[in-house]
Amino acid sequence: MRLIALDQAVIRLHTAWLTRVEKMSGARRDAGMETLEKLILGAVVLGVAVAFGTVFKGTSETLIDRFKAAVGA
């Protein structure tokens, strides 16, 4: 019975290894990099928004009010 359990463990390990190799070398290997790029872009956008708020010394509510007044909403 222990040999069957050992065989199953080896099969699971081999399957996990093949899955990992496929992720690293397959067509979707850049998907992780795209996620990293999105996180970096999000951090940059957040930094620009904070800098904009700091420069114009406005809160989000006053900025929204100014925007609404500018577009006539």
Within a 13 Å sphere around the CA of 29, how many CA atoms are in the beta-carbon half? 8
Domain spans of the chain, in order of start: 2-71
Residue 44 has a pLDDT of 92
pTM score over 0.75: no
Interval 4-47: pLDDT, tens: 877 888 888 888 888 887 777 766 666 666 777 888 998 999 88
Cα(22)–Cα(8) distance, rounded to whole angstroms? Answer: 21
Cα(6)–Cα(26) distance, rounded to whole angstroms? Answer: 29
C-beta contacts of 44-52 below 8 A and 24+ residues apart: none
Give the other-Cβ count within 10 Å of 58's Cβ: 14
